């Protein structure tokens, strides 16, 4: 049986565990710093197994030794964004938490693939890669698939069509500088520009960029977790089943898209080795410029963790 460790048993972590259990693809261990929280939530998820028909082990723990043997470790631990708080405000605390967790992963699950989720995502991913010294294919962040799913859901709503036929693509950093790509977004193969006018596309693009903040503003405390956990589960499944899905993710770039020494959202092929390929799309001058602005914003954050 495959094994997945989810670090953090808050909203994103616990919902991810639930989704993974329902996919029936791996035994799962959920780790949190708060005593009793992961144990209680894991037991609750386990007790749903007879009803939902999954047959995997789900364990909650405060002991990192329990992640031993994990194929994938998903890091959701950290503090979540509060209203009015930018993702960058979270930086210092979440970097420290990530470094502690990465040290435990190196100690107990040195062969694992690490998927970061904690915000600010691209910077946290870079920090995880740097502090573990794992190969770059084994450390990446979940971001673009969530942003693309949000974009796709808005497109389907606008066109009153099935989300199943929408294929949307968002590149760049997971933040205000993300780069939704209408040119690479289609409905049953038909480009978006043939289905809606420019003003409508722009409105949907802007809503996508602000989608996380829109939810935070509604909820007042806490941030999104249903769609994030769905994106995480989709990516974990592609790794464990070696499906080789092509999804946007925050990957370390070594010259791709003209970028070096940075983690940024780009389309990747996800299989049993993690990021097996980075796909380079042909971008227009404007899209390249937007991606560069996004890279600049992420680099500014990275420079803060270096200093
Ligand atoms: N080790 C393990 N767990 C930790 C640690 C640590 N060092 N520090 C904090 N945690 C746990 C908290 O105890 C809490 O249960 O991380 C969990 C975070 O849960 P929530 O506050 O509910 O946050 P959540 O909504 O799940 O978001 C987690 O994902 O999408 C991002 O921006 C979001 O960075 C945030 C992360």
Q: Show the domains of the chain with their CATH numbers.
A: 2-141 (3.40.50.720), 144-306 (3.90.110.10)
Q: What predicted TM-score, i.e. pTM, was given to this entire model? A: 0.96
Task: Please say whether the beta carbons of 116 and 223 come within 8 A.
Answer: no
87 belongs to an annotated ligand binding site: yes
Q: How do residues 207-244 score in pLDDT, each as one tens digit?
A: 999 999 999 999 988 889 999 999 999 999 999 999 99
Ranges of the chain with pLDDT below 50: none
Would you state the pLDDT for residue 175? 85
Would you state the pLDDT for residue 85? 67
Would you state the pLDDT for residue 88? 66
Residues with CB under 6 A from ligand 1: 7-13, 31-34, 37, 76-78, 80-81, 94, 97, 100-101, 117-119, 222-223, 225, 228
Query: Could you tell me the two tokens for 126?
Result: 């870079």
- Rounded to the nearest 5 percent, the helix, strand and coil shares of the chain are 50, 20, 30
Would you state the pLDDT for residue 221? 83
**Residue of 122, 155, 132 lying closest to 73 (CA atoms):** 132
Q: How far is the CA of 119 from the centre of ligand 1 (A)?
A: 10
Tell me the DSSP string of 173-226.
Answer: -SSTT-EE-GGG-EETTEEGGGTS-HHHHHHHHHHHHTHHHHHHHHHSSS---H
Instruction: Say which of 174, 180, 235, 264 is annotated catalytic.
Output: 174
Which residues are paired to 248 by β-bridges?
267
Task: Please say whether the beta carbons of 182 and 274 come within 8 A.
Answer: no
Active site residue 260: no
Give the number of the atom of ligand 1 that is nearest the alpha carbon of residue 228. Answer: 30
207 belongs to an annotated ligand binding site: no
150 belongs to an annotated ligand binding site: yes
Would you state the pLDDT for residue 103? 98
Q: How do residues 96-140 score in pLDDT, each as one tens digit?
A: 999 999 999 999 999 999 999 999 999 999 999 999 989 999 999
Query: Could you tell me the two tokens for 201?
Result: 């596309």
- Specify the DSSP class assigned to residue 172: B
Would you state the pLDDT for residue 131? 93
């Amino acid at each position: 049986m495959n094994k997945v460790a989810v670090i953090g048993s808050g909203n994103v972590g616990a919902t991810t565990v639930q989704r993974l259990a329902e996919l029936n693809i791996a035994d799962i261990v959920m780790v949190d710093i708060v005593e009793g929280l992961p144990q209680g939530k894991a037991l609750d998820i386990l007790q749903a197994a007879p009803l939902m028909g999954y047959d995997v082990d789900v364990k909650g723990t405060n002991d990192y030794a329990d992640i031993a043997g994990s194929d994938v470790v998903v890091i959701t631990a950290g503090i979540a964004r509060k209203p009015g708080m930018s993702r960058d405000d979270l930086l210092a605390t979440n970097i420290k938490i990530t470094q502690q967790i990465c040290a435990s992963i190196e100690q107990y699950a040195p062969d694992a693939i690490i998927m970061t989720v904690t915000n600010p995502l691209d910077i946290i991913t870079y920090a995880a890669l740097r502090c573990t010294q794992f190969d770059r294919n084994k450390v990446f962040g979940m971001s673009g698939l969530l942003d693309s799913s949000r974009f796709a859901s808005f497109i389907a709503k606008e066109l009153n069509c099935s989300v199943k036929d929408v294929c949307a693509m968002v590149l760049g950093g997971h933040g205000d500088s993300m780069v939704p790509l209408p040119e690479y977004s289609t409905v049953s193969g038909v480009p978006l520009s043939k289905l809606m006018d420019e003003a409508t596309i722009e409105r949907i693009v802007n809503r996508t960029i602000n989608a996380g903040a829109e939810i935070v503003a509604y909820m007042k405390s806490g941030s999104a977790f249903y769609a994030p956990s769905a994106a995480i589960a989709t990516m974990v499944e592609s790794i464990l089943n070696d499906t080789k899905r092509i999804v946007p993710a925050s990957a370390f770039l070594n010259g791709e898209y003209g970028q070096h020494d940075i983690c940024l959202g780009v389309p990747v092929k996800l299989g049993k080795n993690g990021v097996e390929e980075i796909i380079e799309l042909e971008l227009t001058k404007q899209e390249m410029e937007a991606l560069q602005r996004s890279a600049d914003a992420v680099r500014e954050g990275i420079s803060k963790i270096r200093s």
